């Protein structure tokens, strides 16, 4: 697996803590426009995850500099987002990813609810004053949560949002630039193209999203409990003690979920179950 590896309001404030003023006249520079056209042209040739990762690490960085990208896709209004990630940071991996996408309580889930209030580009950090600009929003989030997630400062934006059969959400984290109008404008311009790339790259998986509920029904209540403790790193013996069942029974449950989820081992089973929203990780 590749290193996992996702349109305007009243100005409340016109200045961030850094002292850089923000105004509605901010626009893309000529250089940014040229870079944008190059990046979009390259996007038309992307069909595989390796292409996507290379694209994100190339000229794309000059437009939306980041170290971590999390994206989610859902196939209907009633579906939940199915997340994946790409990263160039050694501090962010499967453990952090599973934690931030945990349904309802994960950092991504919490911020997703806030983004859906306006669907404007939503910048999240613990340095700038809360702000709702005409083309983006800034919120100040708990520092400990941002640090422990390893996302640090990030921006969330999406495309579709219940207005199309397929919609996507992206989070660019460990940003290289500060929130401003030009940055928000760039996100608005690039998101439709990024959406098409994500759908194209994940087309095989998108075709199976609608069947995730059926997969969920195949996982029994006991298997779900075993998956939860697998995610916590417990051994078969420890799980058998917690659930008051035999280690052999636990082993059978683990083998069953590995088969049902079409993965190779217990670790992959726990991660995939978390991505599909089939389990709620225990604290």
Q: For 58-113, what is each residue's pLDDT tens digit?
A: 999 999 999 999 999 887 666 678 888 999 999 998 889 988 988 888 899 899 98
Q: For 164-189, what is each residue's pLDDT tens digit?
A: 568 899 999 999 988 888 889 999 99
- Confidence at residue 207, expressed as pLDDT on a 0 to 100 scale: 47
- Confidence at residue 98, expressed as pLDDT on a 0 to 100 scale: 87
Lowest pLDDT segment from 38-52, 85-99, 154-168, 252-266: 154-168
pLDDT over 70 (residue 5): no
Domain 30-208, what architecture? 2-Layer Sandwich (3.30)
pLDDT over 80 (residue 278): no
Helix axes 266-275, 221-231, angle to 10 degrees: 110
Mode of pairing for the β-strands spanning 154-159 and 167-173: antiparallel
**Predicted TM-score (pTM) of this structure:** 0.66
Instruction: DSSP for 63-111, please give it.
Output: HS--SEEEEEEESSTTSPPEEEEEE--TT--HHHHHHHT-TTTSHHHHH
Locate CATH 1.10.10.10 in the chain.
Answer: 211-275
Domain 211-275 fold is: Arc Repressor Mutant, subunit A (1.10.10)
Locate CATH 3.30.450.80 in the chain.
Answer: 30-208
For residues 211-239, average pLDDT: 79
Rg for the chain (alpha carbons), in Å? 20
């Amino acid at each position: 697996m590749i290193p996992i590896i996702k349109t305007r309001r009243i100005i409340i404030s016109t200045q961030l803590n850094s002292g850089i003023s923000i105004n509605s006249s901010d626009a893309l520079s000529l250089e940014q426009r040229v870079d944008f056209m190059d990046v979009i042209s390259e996007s038309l040739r992307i069909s595989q995850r390796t292409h996507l990762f290379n694209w994100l690490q190339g000229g794309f960085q000059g437009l939306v500099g980041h170290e971590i990208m999390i994206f989610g896709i859902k196939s209907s209004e009633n579906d939940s987002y199915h997340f994946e990630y790409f990263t160039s940071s050694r501090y962010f991996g499967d453990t952090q990813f599973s934690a931030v996408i945990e349904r309802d309580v994960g950092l991504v889930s919490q911020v997703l609810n806030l983004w859906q209030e306006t669907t404007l580009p939503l910048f999240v950090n613990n340095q700038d004053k809360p702000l709702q600009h005409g083309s983006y929003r800034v919120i100040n989030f708990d520092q400990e949560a941002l640090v422990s997630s390893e996302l640090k400062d990030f921006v969330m934006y999406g495309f579709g949002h219940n207005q199309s059969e397929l919609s996507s959400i992206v989070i660019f984290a460990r940003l290289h630039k500060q929130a401003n109008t030009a940055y928000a404008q760039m996100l608005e311009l690039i998101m439709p193209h990024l959406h098409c790339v994500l759908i194209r790259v994940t087309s095989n998986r998108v075709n199976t999203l609608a069947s995730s509920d059926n997969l969920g029904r195949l996982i029994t209540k006991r298997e779900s409990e075993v998956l939860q403790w697998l995610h916590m790193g417990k051994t078969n013996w420890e799980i058998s003690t917690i659930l008051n069942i035999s280690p052999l029974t636990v082993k059978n449950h683990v083998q069953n979920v590995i088969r049902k989820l079409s993965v190779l081992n217990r670790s992959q089973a726990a991660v995939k179950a978390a991505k599909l929203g089939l389990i709620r990780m225990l604290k």
